[in-house]
Amino acid sequence: MSNFKVTASRNFANGSVYALRTEDDYPIETTDTFLPMITRDAEARGTNELVLANFGSRKDRWMIGVSVMSGCPVRCPFCATGALKKWRNLTAEEILAQVDFIVEKNQDRFKPTDAEEFRILFTRMGEPVMNKDEVLKAIKLIKNKYPHATVALSTAGPKVGTKEFFEEVKKIVEEYQDDFIQFQFSVHSTDDKQRDFLQPVKKYQLAELKEFADEWKKVSERKVTLNFTLCDDNEFDAEKIEKYFLADSIFIKLSPLNENNISTKNHLSGVITAKNLA
């Protein structure tokens, strides 16, 4: 049972976003979205863009985006969390409660077990590696309560903690004997100096991520994702990627920038111009 206070919400064509407050009044954001099954085949299609306004329903691909922190100390210059002065790690129970909150919101119409894919995205507020103990516990709590769930983790790859976090996530895949976790590094540029501006935390260099991608192949059929939210003239050098990584160990994702007050203040704009339908 979730005990969040809803302070705002917005509905769009394929879901909703909620601004919530924890019991001690910290703001977090949780999303409830869905997509048709065709978008799961992004690799073969070369895109997950919707050609027609066919959004499917929560019985197709149902995705719940959870925060792992309120605010975030990393302060990436394109990220809306920069507007929050304070931050704190969420507990595993608070992370699970966000999933419960969305499930409860939909309980009259949809059940997670009815969804062909029920996916929990650890991609809203916060850097998972900096809250690794609670995130690892939350993955297990979610999987125990919703055995049907798959999980997507996204990290900037901080030098402190990523290796340990990665090893523990591998152990979870092995323990559950279920290939249910997608591991993503958000990198945003193939130039490490640009990355230092975009992700102001001491982190693994692009070439160093190869070792993680190769190791992940030993436990999972899912390739490690490298996510690029491309802004302005930030470098995307395919030859560099080809030089550093084996093609069958990574999946490259290009994402639009969700422009916000912080990205505007830092004069950043996305290169993908397609917009979500309202």
**Binding site residues, ligand SF4, CB under 6 A:** 72, 74-76, 79, 81, 125-127, 156
CB-hemisphere CA count at 13 Å for 201? 23
State in angstroms the smallest separation of the CB of 73 from ligand SF4. Answer: 8
If the CB atoms of residues 119 and 203 are measured against ligand SF4, the closer one turns out to be 203
Distance between first and last Cα of the chain: 30
Cβ contact 169:135 at 8 Å = no
Q: Report d(CA 37, CA 268) in Å as an integer.
A: 33
State in angstroms the smallest separation of the CB of 127 from ligand SF4. Answer: 4
State in angstroms the smallest separation of the CB of 123 from ligand SF4. Answer: 8
State in angstroms the smallest separation of the CB of 35 from ligand SF4. Answer: 22
Q: Report d(CA 69, CA 87) in Å as an integer.
A: 7
If the CB atoms of residues 103 and 186 are measured against ligand SF4, the closer one turns out to be 186
If the CB atoms of residues 112 and 126 are measured against ligand SF4, the closer one turns out to be 126
State in angstroms the smallest separation of the CB of 174 from ligand SF4. Answer: 27
Cβ contact 220:196 at 8 Å = no
If the CB atoms of residues 145 and 202 are measured against ligand SF4, the closer one turns out to be 202
If the CB atoms of residues 50 and 130 are measured against ligand SF4, the closer one turns out to be 130
Cβ count within 10 A of residue 204 = 21
Q: Report d(CA 196, CA 189) in Å as an integer.
A: 10
Range 103-119 burial, b when 16+ CB lie within 10 A, else e? bebbeeebebeebebbb
Q: Report d(CA 150, CA 138) in Å as an integer.
A: 13
State in angstroms the smallest separation of the CB of 245 from ligand SF4. Answer: 22
If the CB atoms of residues 74 and 268 are measured against ligand SF4, the closer one turns out to be 74
